[in-house]
Structure 1
Amino acid sequence: MSRGAAPVVVRRESLLPVPADVVWARVTTADGINHELGPWMSMSLPAGADTLDIASVTPTVHLGRSWIRLFGVLPVDFDDISITELEPGRRFLEQSRMLSAPVWQHERVVDPVGDDSCHVRDVVTFTPRAALRPVAPRVVGALFSHRHRRLQQYWV
């Protein structure tokens, strides 16, 4: 992924007692993403995007820069977003560049488990900037653990 630096991989999974299509419809919206990040963080939409509708995204098209804000106010990072693969209703693969990680890949998969439950899996593979290497794995791991706790709280 990067010259010389070993990539970091963070995986988080949750089983939710909600149909996969219902979960997908929420977790791929700005409201759903910001609920998962909240209350500590939020993420803006790229400039010119009034809404985020992943169903209308064409894979490999660069969406633009989203700001990641601490407490919804203070910009602390950006995510220059490109969705490179999309299986509507099931999976997306984001390959982006961030201020904190010049190489960032986030895959989210929502698979049905029977008719009334689903399995949500996030796999984040990234190469943090050298100064952040000592803490980045723990910070990103904690962030995605928080996101999955928020998913559980919302649906349970």
Structure 2
Amino acid sequence: MPGFVLSSTLALPAAEASSRLLRPPAVNAELGPWLRMTMPGAWAGRPLPAWPVGRPLFRSVILFLGVLPLDLHHFRLEATGEAGFYERSSSLIMRNWRHKRLLRAVPGGTLVEDRVVFACRLPLLGSLIAPVYRAVFRHRHRRLRRWYAQVGEPAP
């Protein structure tokens, strides 16, 4: 299965990183302005560490520019807590979607690491779409580094 790992070391204490980055509005802020995930209101206001694990939670429409539906994602968490989450979901395009976001305290801040592995329902599509998913996560990390100084750099 195709996959990738991206990380950023932010000058943000781990507890603060958890409270800021593990919330639905933060996810959509990272994805914006290109993409947005919909979710029921009951979930949108809850931090991810408070979400139940091991069962389907809801369906999320992935929207391009906030209006054009690209995919229907069946959202499920396998683990969650202050140190991150492990999502094991599927969608109309993806037979398997695995996303781990890990937050780890490091000297001067927090290491934010995203590990993504996926398998498309149509195998040929996987090799075509893999660069798009990598670009989306590179965009997310660029936004994080823009909003929060990196360890060893002045605040933005």
The alpha-carbon deviation at position 55 of structure 1 amounts to 2.5
1:70 aligned onto 2:64: yes
Q: Secondary structure at the match of 2:43?
A: coil
- Which residue does 1:3 correspond to in 2? none
- Which residue does 1:4 correspond to in 2? none
1:119 aligned onto 2:111: yes
The AA in structure 1 aligned to 2:148 is W
Which digits, 9 at most, give the CA deviation of each residue in 1:54-78, with x for residues without a partner? 2321221321111110011111112
- Which residue does 1:100 correspond to in 2? 93
CA contact (8 A) 1:46 1:63 kept: no
1:132 aligned onto 2:129: no
Aligned residues with identical type, % of pairs: 30
Distance 1:110 1:142, change over 3 A: same
Q: Secondary structure at the match of 1:49?
A: helix
Task: Please identify, of 22-31 and 146-155, the stretch whose mean Cα deviation from structure 2 is larger.
Answer: 22-31
The AA in structure 1 aligned to 2:12 is V
1:143 aligned onto 2:139: no
1:16 aligned onto 2:46: no
Distance 1:64 1:77, change over 3 A: same
Q: How many aligned positions are there?
A: 148
TM norm structure 2 = 0.88
Whole-angstrom distance in 2 between the partners of 1:12 and 1:153:
16
Whole-angstrom distance in 2 between the partners of 1:47 and 1:102:
26
Whole-angstrom distance in 1 between the partners of 2:52 and 2:44:
16
TM norm structure 1 = 0.88
- Which residue does 2:73 correspond to in 1? 79
Distance 1:44 1:14, change over 3 A: same
- Gaps of at least 5 residues in structure 1 are 1-6
Distance 1:25 1:48, change over 3 A: closer
The AA in structure 2 aligned to 1:84 is E
Whole-angstrom distance in 2 between the partners of 1:24 and 1:51:
15
The AA in structure 2 aligned to 1:14 is S
Whole-angstrom distance in 2 between the partners of 1:148 and 1:37:
10
1:38 aligned onto 2:38: no
The AA in structure 2 aligned to 1:19 is P
